[in-house]
């Protein structure tokens, strides 16, 4: 069993309050911040390249909202 799997299993045993504290701590670590910034830069580069190639469409706000609501539903089930 991997270390990540072990941590996930152990985390499942924590109260919601303790899981939240763990999440906030992890989210705010410098290493995670660096990874999040790298991911954001990658996403921006992909979007910029798509725009440069003319692969753009008008913003469909209703579709974006629908996707957000769907993701929220999915995350609340887990």
Global model pTM greater than 0.95? no
Count of domains for the chain: 1
Residue 78, pLDDT > 80, answer no
Q: What is the pLDDT of residues 10-44, one digit of tens each?
A: 999 999 999 999 999 999 999 999 999 999 999 99
Domain of residue 65: give its range: 3-77
Q: How far apart are CA 30 and CA 59, in angstroms?
A: 33
Average per-residue pLDDT in the chain? 93
- Report residue 74 as tokens: 């999915």
């Amino acid at each position: 069993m991997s270390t990540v799997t072990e941590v996930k299993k152990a985390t499942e045993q924590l109260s919601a309050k303790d899981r939240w504290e763990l999440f906030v701590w992890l989210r705010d670590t410098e290493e995670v911040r660096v990874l999040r910034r790298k991911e954001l830069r990658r996403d921006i580069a992909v979007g910029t390249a798509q725009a440069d190639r003319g692969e753009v469409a008008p913003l469909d706000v209703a579709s974006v909202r629908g996707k957000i609501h769907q993701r929220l539903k999915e995350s609340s089930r887990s």
